[in-house]
Amino acid sequence: MEPGDSRLRNRYIRRILFVIFGLVLIGYALFPPLVPLEKANLVGYAICHQIPDRSFHIAGRRLPLCARCTGTYLGVAIGFAAMALLRRWRAGEMLSSGMIVVMVLFIGAMGLDGLNSYLYLLGNMPTLYTPQNWLRAATGSLNGLALSMIVWPIFNFTLWKDAQPVRPLKNAWELLGMVAVDAGVIAIVQAQPDWLLYPLSLVSTGGVLWMLTLVNTMILLILIRQDSQAETWRDAALPLLGGLCVTLIELTAMGTFRYLVTGTMEWPL
């Protein structure tokens, strides 16, 4: 096959895939429920227990994610927003060893709080302290920050042909600034003002979609042996759309399985 024929064939394949992925996204957008909060609740239903007393309630509604998951995906959103502000869209170098230790401690803090909450739930086990939703959200948000800083350079290295040899975080001051913003956000969440219902619900579930899309995009690129090929955002659009479609299908399958097992959208597995 001539090089020109190969390029033409690849162009047609890309266009067909864009159409397929676009139809999948339009289908999900138009499929009931159409209310954004209800769609967000379906995302939460697929991945989160949604236990009422372990969730924040704003304006009389339980949030789509429990307090810990809300904190985790707010942390994810804050982490990626920081990358945007610092213009590290293609940061492809792993964190320093010291930063990695801090990220592990962040993840460990959530694990410890989760274990303490589980022991408290059992009722007859010793616990370190009485669990609180704000603690679940705070430790969850640290976990989300850590996940975003660990996943981002791996994703960039997998996607881009010319990932930048720069770390997501260069020094402790950047980390402290990000943690300070995170603490401020959690304080606002703890206050639970009514106006926060829509932005908090959509940003936290958006964090779920974004993180899963990054992971699924990496898996797709590796499976089809197209990793480290993208040179522009136009090149990156198709694999990202593919990763998003896989994410939506995964969430639908998980939510459907949960519904079939429990028969309800009000009680966890």
In the chain (269 residues long), the average pLDDT of successive 10-residue segments reads 61 83 89 90 93 92 96 96 94 95 96 89 79 94 97 96 93 95 95 94 96 96 92 92 95 92 59
User: How many domains is the chain built from?
Assistant: 2
The answer to whether residues 51 and 108 belong to one domain is: yes
pTM: 0.90
Residues 6 or more apart in contact with residue 28 via CB below 8 angstroms: 248
The answer to whether residues 18 and 78 belong to one domain is: no
The answer to whether residues 19 and 125 belong to one domain is: no
- Which range of residues forms the domain containing residue 148? 37-262
What confidence score (pLDDT) does residue 102 get?
96
Asked whether residue 269 is domain-assigned, the answer is no
The answer to whether residues 8 and 107 belong to one domain is: no
Cα separation of 87 and 82, whole Å?
Answer: 8
Mapped onto helix, strand or coil, the DSSP state of residue 15 is helix
Cβ atoms of 161 and 231 within 8 Å: the answer is yes
The answer to whether residues 255 and 148 belong to one domain is: yes
Cα separation of 124 and 139, whole Å?
Answer: 24
Q: State the residue for tokens 């260069």.
A: 170
What confidence score (pLDDT) does residue 267 get?
44
Asked whether residue 268 is domain-assigned, the answer is no
Q: What is the DSSP letter of 57?
A: E
What confidence score (pLDDT) does residue 262 get?
81
The answer to whether residues 154 and 110 belong to one domain is: yes
The answer to whether residues 209 and 190 belong to one domain is: yes
The answer to whether residues 182 and 160 belong to one domain is: yes
Instruction: State the alpha helices, DSSP H only, in the chain.
Output: 3-30, 36-47, 67-85, 97-122, 133-159, 172-191, 197-223, 233-262
The answer to whether residues 24 and 105 belong to one domain is: no
The answer to whether residues 74 and 13 belong to one domain is: no
The answer to whether residues 12 and 67 belong to one domain is: no
Cα separation of 246 and 219, whole Å?
Answer: 10
